[in-house]
Amino acid sequence: MINGVKIKEVKRHFDDRGFFAEVVKFGEETFKEIKQTSYTETYPGVIKAFHWHKRQYDIWSPVRGSMRIVLYDLREDSPTYQETQVIYAGEDNFLVVLIPPYVAHGYQVLGTEKVGLFYHTTEAYDPKNPDEERLPFNDSKIGFDWETKNR
């Protein structure tokens, strides 16, 4: 696992009405002070990758569909520098993923359903001074193979 990345398995409490789940909660290791929450839906087969932040933590919580999250450690002083981590998440594997600054991140929608992703951030988006850097999804430094492996 990449140093500083935290993953929480979200427990769902079911009854005859449906379920209840605590997603982001003060005191848990996946918690940071949130300054903005956004939601996106992404179509099947789409890859959204890569971007990273200098100050901002991202807290991702996919609630619909299925996705492959790919993380890459850009921090030269990190014990996991240049390591890649892959996380499978979505409605059938309800997770919260804390992504630190200088960890490049992106995802691919798996299956035939759209992905619905809530992402909470520790910084509010400033279009005049965005804390966001981009790398192409096929960046040779990262070298991630996005193809599905039929095993």
Q: Is residue 110 part of a domain?
A: yes
Q: Is residue 145 part of a domain?
A: no
Model pLDDT for residues 125-145, shown as the tens digit of each residue:
999 999 999 999 999 999 999
Q: Is residue 17 part of a domain?
A: yes
Question: What domain range includes position 97?
Answer: 6-130
Q: Is residue 111 part of a domain?
A: yes
84: nearest Cα among 102, 67, 70 = 70
What is the rounded CA–CA span in Å between residue 78 and residue 68?
A: 23
Domain tally, the chain: 1
Task: Compute the average pLDDT of residues 74-96.
Answer: 97
- How many whole angstroms from its chain centre is CA 90? 11
pLDDT more than 90, % of the chain: 97
Give me the CATH number covering residue 19.
2.60.120.10
